């Protein structure tokens, strides 16, 4: 509990300090106006919350890397890391979702790349093509998965805490996108998909699918 709260403070302490300072300046002169930064203080704690997640113990699962709503599931050519056709699952995060990103499975970070871009609303279909992005490629038992953090109109700061060569555990926190955004995950063709467009998902908890050739192992 305390460790989760300390992570929240680590992420947003500068916002909290600023809001406390504004409230302290306003209260002696305009007490009613001091309610505004006080309310924003509480909202900031809510926005950057780090709730406990029940991470499935089965290592065969591909977990959601983000909270939000499934916007699309399609097949694309992923030419950065996987370098072959892949299934892309796009997740939109509203301002009310938890914005921490989590590793979809256990593995090793083999690729990281930051791409500058624009900041159009993340729910627009072409946002993925032109918005600022950060790519995280993970290899697990020969399979390649890639997570893509995408900024939006409000979300203009990507934080990634996963480094090249780092070994990740399934559901481990790997970054955050601040204030409304999108996340994509690219998984191998042939993976069993357990979600559909419109589904609500939770990072590190919702099972998006199972990697190819592992479905029989899960059934045992």
Length of the chain equals: 220
Cα separation, 184 vs 190, whole angstroms: 18
66 phi/psi in degrees, rounded to 5? -150, 155
207 phi/psi in degrees, rounded to 5? -85, 110
3-state SS, residue 216: helix
Contact 209, 194 (CB under 8 A): yes
Q: Which residues contact 152 (CB under 8 A, 6 or more apart)?
A: 119, 120, 121, 122, 123, 127, 131, 177, 179, 180, 181, 182
Is 103 in the active site? Answer: no
Tokens of 8: 């929240």
Catalytic residue from among 103, 128, 181, 191? 181
Cα separation, 60 vs 214, whole angstroms: 6
Inter-CA distances, 203 with 99, 133, 208, Å: 9, 19, 10
Catalytic amino acids? Answer: 181
């Amino acid at each position: 509990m305390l460790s989760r709260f300390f992570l929240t403070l680590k992420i947003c302490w500068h916002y909290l300090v600023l809001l406390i300072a504004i409230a302290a300046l306003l209260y002696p002169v305009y007490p009613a106006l001091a309610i505004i930064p006080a309310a924003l203080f509480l909202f900031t704690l809510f926005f950057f919350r780090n709730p406990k997640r029940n991470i499935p113990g089965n290592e065969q699962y591909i977990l959601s890397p983000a909270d939000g709503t499934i916007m699309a599931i399609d097949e694309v050519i992923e030419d950065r890391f996987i370098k072959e056709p892949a299934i892309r699952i796009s997740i939109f995060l509203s301002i009310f979702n938890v914005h921490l990103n989590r590793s979809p499975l256990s593995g090793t970070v083999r690729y990281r790349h930051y791409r500058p871009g624009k900041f159009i609303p993340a729910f627009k279909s072409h946002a993925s093509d032109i918005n600022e992005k950060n790519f995280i490629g993970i290899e697990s038992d020969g399979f390649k998965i890639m997570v893509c953090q995408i900024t939006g109109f409000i979300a203009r700061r990507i934080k990634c805490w996963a480094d090249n060569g780092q070994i990740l555990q399934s559901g481990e926190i790997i970054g955050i996108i601040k204030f409304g955004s999108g996340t994509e995950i690219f998984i191998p063709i042939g993976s069993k998909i357990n979600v559909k467009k419109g589904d609500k998902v939770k990072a590190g908890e919702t099972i998006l699918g199972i990697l190819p050739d592992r479905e029989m192992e899960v059934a045992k």
